[in-house]
Structure 1
Amino acid sequence: MVCPYSWDVPGGVMAHVRDLAEALIEDGHHVSVIAPAADDAPLPYYVTSAGRAVPVPYNGSVARLAFGFLSAGRVRKWLREGRFDVLHVHEPAVPSVGLLACWAARGPIVATFHASYQRSRAVSVTAPVLHTALEKITGRIAVSDAARKTLVEHMGGDAVLIPNGVTVRRYAEAEPLPGWGPDGGVIGFLGRMDEPRKGLPVLLDAFARLAPERPGLRLLVAGPGDAGDVLAKVPAALRDRVGVLGMVSEEDKVRAYHSVDVFCAPNTGGESFGIVLAEAMAAGATVLASDIPAFRRVLGEGRAGALFTNGDAGSLAREAATLLDDPACRSRLAAEARAAVRRYDWSTVARDVVRVYETVAATTAGGVEEESRQAAASGSGSGSAGGPA
């Protein structure tokens, strides 16, 4: 399995690869993952480093990718030694390890597409180069309707729809963080604090509107970014009511979900699924999210969580106030969320992925082999642009 983004930095695709790998291992499959990572980074036994990642602006974010001779050599070595039945590449159109793996391999190749975007100049410019890799893919998976639409419109072909997964039992029980807890007045946020599309400024604006009328209201913020920059956007009189944790461990992330009365996802766009919602739902949190299409679908159009108008701090403040004042409503939404999230449990999702593996392996002779350097350089490959869709 190939992860294009750095294993050192938490992110949706990395978490997806990690959890899928561990679900497959638990079911008795042999799994090996290659991903960008510093050579001294602590990695699970099943992960091989493809070399240190570099930050690159991509799809409204900053992606940490690895691309070059060092990474290409490590990918080829990993393929030669792995003798895999199936190669599963995540985000093969991203200029990172997944693209290198497609160029370097031939045989049964499955690709999962995560991203959703309206237009991409980078993809348009590099389309001829990408085609030499993407034509080798024999099975395609999209994690959402939005990701599938992006694939169809920008790269052609179709895909099986298999959603992101969440290990429900991992989030079900946890003690709140010290000094925090669902006491009727805690709103939470988890995401990259310095990434505009994660929507933290909208939440901070809403908090500034709510807090003066609610002396007990507090805000808990977790994720990569500069705490000072966050607090600078909060009125001075309210800063002692905002807790900024920075990047947290997996254990503390789960505890954070259990430390709030309302978990807010104010993302403004660029989301094709919303794994953070699924995690919060699995923890039994009451979710309040922007009404972007991906979040509406995950929350069942408001049945498993409340929605506010995207980018509208006033709408967020009104919906948050309603939830904070109505414990019965919060309990009802949390119960609906726990029930709804079961469809995304990895015990179900991983089996669907294995069925794609089995279909691809049955229709492609032999296992995964290293493509000859001469063939890779000339852009020749095996397989078709279609898949078991």
Structure 2
Amino acid sequence: MRDSLPPGLGETGANRPLRVAMVSVHTSPLEQPGTGDAGGMNVYVLELSRALARRGAQVEIYTRATTSAQPKVTDAEPGIRVIHVSAGPYEGLDKNDLPGQLCAFAAGVLRAEAHRPEGWYDVLHTHYWLSGQVGWLAAERWDVPLVHTMHTMARVKNASLAPGDAPEPHGRIIGEEQVVAESDVLVANTEQEAADLVRDYRADPGRVRVVQPGVDLDVFSPPPDVDGRDPAERDRRRAAQRAGLRERLALPVDRKIVLFAGRVQLLKGPDVLVRALGERVWEEGDGQPPLLVVLGGASGRPTAVRELEALAYQEGVAAHVLVRPPVPQQVLADYFRAADLVAVPSHSESFGLVAAEAQATGTPVVAAAVGGLRTVVEDGVSGVLVPDHEPESWALVLKSLLDDDALRAGLAVGARASSTRFGWDRAADEILDVYEQARKHHSTRPQPVPR
């Protein structure tokens, strides 16, 4: 853990704490991930803020108010404040409606900061292109370095659309290009994302830094080891341990379980898993597919969950699909531990936080070989990467793993070892270095007109 902040950051006449403004327009870090527009980015913003606060930084997160009941300012945790900005109607707006509210949101951010002494913030860190548009204006107004994390990019998503999914609009691409040009430093989750930024958005390679997100390794941890020198006895105790966990979660004890955790939308690919359950490969052996547990809510279309359940009925596998709402992180970790496999069939992922969290609990992951999942999942070590989204391919891989207890046990060991690569303390240390790099770059820019 870093003992002190980088030279130059957060230093005035007295060595005060680093003050970070974060902007997350379309989704609040306080929302439950797994439904609507809330997902891995919520976890990223909150966990990074926590790690920065542990290092003495003061973090203020600006996000759009979505209900009238939300307080304007919430002291979420020591060192972390969430500011809800009114911009447009509280309800009825999805992500695609928000570009028309960016002016109102930016005005709210500037108004909230205006009562502070000049030079209050040391750095501005924005998340997703909508926030980057707001940050571009605010950073210039406040004369602070702008750091931006894309999380997802329109050109990358459009290159790997799920069948039936709508492409991202050209206006988003233009907005992303502007944010790339104006940011002092761009944070990429993986080397692949960094290459995408340079290739697709003409980003300056010298201003792109790779910082892999972390996993809360205290929450997402393997089940406690069981005693017993005899291997057969240890296996029996482990089975009893898992059975007890499944009983607490109201899951069947005597079935193989494949878990999907995330928003129910075409991009995330839960339909691939439902179709895979309908493949003929399951007729071999005991003649039935595993139970697919879907933890997630509708995203994009309010009928997404009902459509997934209707697809299961059409495929004749409704009895093998169980849909439940998203759950808090501590409960999610128990679901990971209770599953035989976790499946991540996304068509596009900048990182793949679910895969990293599942592996940290010691559960092997079957994932699509796309984006950041190729970094998170070590093929043949912590899980298996599937080269396409064909239901038969997924059925074959899932069945081969579910039929081989020894293979899954070996992957479970690899999953636990692989998870040690990811930690939020390491990520925060690297982000502090990014902030210092951004400060140095910002100092070379033409000075804005004094206000």
TM-score by length of 2: 0.71
* Unpaired stretches in structure 1, ≥5 consecutive residues: 58-62, 374-389
**1:140–1:235 Cα change, 3 Å:** closer
- In the superposition, relative to structure 1, how do residues 71 and 143 fare at CA in structure 2: closer, same or farther (>3 Å)? same
Alpha-carbon distance change, 242 to 87 in structure 1, aligned in 2, over 3 angstroms:
same
Asked if structure 2 preserves the Cα contact closer than 8 Å seen for 1:192 and 1:198, the reply is yes
Q: Which amino acid aligns with 1:35?
A: T
C-alpha separation between the residues in 2 aligned to 1:32 and 1:363? 23
Tell me which residue corresponds to 2:214: 165
> 2:121 — aligned with what?
84
Q: Determine helix, strand or coil for the equivalent of 1:234.
A: helix
Alpha-carbon spacing, 1:327–1:161, altered in 2? closer, same or farther (3 Å): same
Using the alignment, how far apart are the partners of 2:218 and 2:99 within structure 1? Answer: 31
Q: Residue in 2 aligned with 1:3?
A: 24
Quote the offset at 1:262 in angstroms: 0.8
Do the aligned partners of residues 19 and 206 (structure 1) sit closer, same or farther apart at CA in structure 2, a change above 3 Å counting?
Answer: same
Report the more deviating stretch, 319-328 or 67-76: 67-76
* Mapping for residues 359-374 of structure 1, pairs under 5 Å: 359-361=437-439, 364=442
CA-to-aligned-CA distance 1:141-170 (integer Å, 9 cap, x gap): 211223223322325323011112221221
Paired position in structure 1 for 2:14: none
* Alpha-carbon RMSD: 3.1
Q: Distance in 1 between matches of 2:352 and 2:43?
A: 12
- Taking the aligned partners of 2:136 and 2:443, their CA distance within structure 1 comes to 22
> Following the alignment from structure 1 to structure 2, what is the Cα–Cα distance between the partners of residues 183 and 289?
25
**Any idea what SS the aligned residue of 2:58 has?**
coil
Answer yes or no: is 1:109 the counterpart of 2:162. Answer: no
Whole-Å separation in 2 of the counterparts to 1:126 and 1:232 = 37
Seq. identity, %: 24
Task: Name the CA distance, whole Å, in 2 between partners of 1:35 and 1:360.
Answer: 23
Residue 340 to residue 47, structure 1, CA distance change in 2 (3 Å): same
Q: Does 1:252 align with 2:331?
A: yes
Correspondences of 1:108-187 after superposition (within 5 Å): 108-116=145-153, 117-118=155-156, 121-126=170-175, 131=178, 135-152=181-198, 153-158=200-205, 159-172=208-221, 175-176=245-246, 178-180=249-251, 185-187=256-258
Letter paired with 2:249: P
Q: Which runs of 5+ in 2 are unaligned?
A: 1-21, 32-36, 159-167, 224-244, 299-303
Q: Which residue matches 2:362? A: 284
Distance 1:334 1:305, change over 3 A: same
* Alignment of structure 1 residues 198-277 onto 2, 5 Å: 198-209=268-279, 213-215=286-288, 217-225=290-298, 226-235=304-313, 238-268=317-347, 270-277=348-355
Per-residue displacement from partner, 1:7-51 (whole Å, max 9, x unpaired)? 144212222111100111122221111122324248635211123
Letter in 1 for 2:26: Y
Task: Give secondary structure in 2 for the equivalent of 1:221.
Answer: strand
Tell me, in whole angstroms, the C-alpha distance in 2 between the residues paired with 1:141 and 1:100: 19
Q: Is the 8 A contact 2:386 2:394 kept in 1?
A: yes
**Number of equivalences:** 361
Conservation of the 8 A alpha-carbon contact between 1:55 and 1:65: no
State the shift of 1:73 in Å.
Answer: 2.2
TM-score, with normalisation over the residues of structure 1? 0.81
* Whole-angstrom distance in 1 between the partners of 2:357 and 2:144: 35
Query: Structure 2: how far apart are the matches of 1:79 and 1:135?
Result: 25
The one-letter code sitting in structure 1 at the alignment partner of 2:187 is I
Letter in 1 for 2:373: F
Distance 1:349 1:55 in 2: 30
CA distance in 2, matches of 1:371, 1:304: 53
